Amino acid sequence: MSFVCIIPARGGSKRIKNKNIKFMAGKPLIAWTIEAAKKAKVIDDIYVTSENKKILKISKKLNIKTINRPRALSNDKIHVDDAVLHCYRTIKKRYDYIVLLQPTSPLRNHKHISEAIKLIKRTKADCLVSVVKKKILLWTKKNKFIEPVSYKIFKRPRSQDMKLFSENGAIYITKSKIFLQNKNRLGGKIIAYEMKDKYSIDIDSLRDFKIVEKILKRI
C-alpha cells in the first residue's frame, strides 16, 4: 500500500494572523506537522499545498515537495477537501491512500501517524478519522427551548458509560479512489483512531495557540 501525505496550509487567517508560519516553541507552526510526517517513515511522499510564498519557502527548506494552490482555492470559504483534491490531481504519481494532516494539530506526533496507518492497513478500511472521547451531554435549540440530542432525558447516562467521540482534526486517511469519487475525505467504511485529550487540541484561537506552545516547550 502506498501513502501520500498532503498538508494544506493557506496564508490567510482571521483569528490568528499568519497562523501557519507563526513561531511556536521555536519553529513555525507548520514545521511541527511536517517533522511529524517525516519521522513517521511510513509515508511515501509529503506535499504542502499553499498559495503563500513564505509557507512554500519554509516547506522547501524542510525538504518537502510543494504545490502552488490557486488563489481561488485559498479563501476562508473554500473547503479544505477542495484544496487537497487539487493537490492530489496535480501530482502525477498515484497512491492508494491520501493522509491529510492539518498544521493546526501540532501535538499529533509521528507515533500517532504511524499507528493510524498501521490500523487502516490492518483493518483494510476505506477511511480513518482521528477522534477523542468526549463525556458531554449535547443539546440543541428548538424554537425558544432546548432539547437533548445525545441522550434521552429519562435515560440519563453515567459519565463512564458515555461512548461519544469527536473528530479532533489531527489525522485523516482516505483511499484515494474514495476521495476522488466523493470529493470528500470521508466515505465508505470508516474506522476511528482514538487519541488522548492531551494530544487533541486543534488550534482555533490565540488562547489555543498559547496553551499548545506551553505544552510543546515542556516536551
Q: Where are the domains of the chain?
A: 3-130+167-218
Task: Please give the model's pTM, rounded to 2 decimal places.
Answer: 0.91
Q: What is the pLDDT of residue 99?
A: 98
**% of the chain residues with pLDDT over 70:** 100
Q: What is the pLDDT of residue 161?
A: 75
Q: What is the pLDDT of residue 219?
A: 76
Active-site choice (156, 185, 207, 218): 156
Question: How many CB atoms are located within 10 Å of the residue 135 CB?
Answer: 12
pLDDT classification of 12: cutoffs 50, 70, 90: confident
Q: What SS3 state is found at 147?
A: strand
In the structure grid, which three cell numbers stand for residue 201, read together?
487540541
10 classed as catalytic: no
DSSP H helices, 97-194, are 110-123, 176-182
Q: What SS3 state is found at 208?
A: helix
In this model, does residue 44 exceed pLDDT 90? yes
Mean pLDDT of the chain: 92
Tell me the mean pLDDT in the region 106-120.
Answer: 97
Highest mean pLDDT among 106-110, 136-140, 215-219: 106-110
In this model, does residue 141 exceed pLDDT 80? yes
pLDDT per residue over 149-208, tens digit each? 888 888 888 877 777 899 999 999 999 999 999 999 999 999 999 999 999 999 999 999
- 43-57, 72-86, 132-146, range with the lowest pLDDT: 72-86
pLDDT classification of 72: cutoffs 50, 70, 90: confident
Q: What is the pLDDT of residue 198?
A: 93
Tell me: domain 3-130+167-218, CATH 3.40.50.410, correct?
no
Question: How many CB atoms are located within 10 Å of the residue 95 CB?
Answer: 19
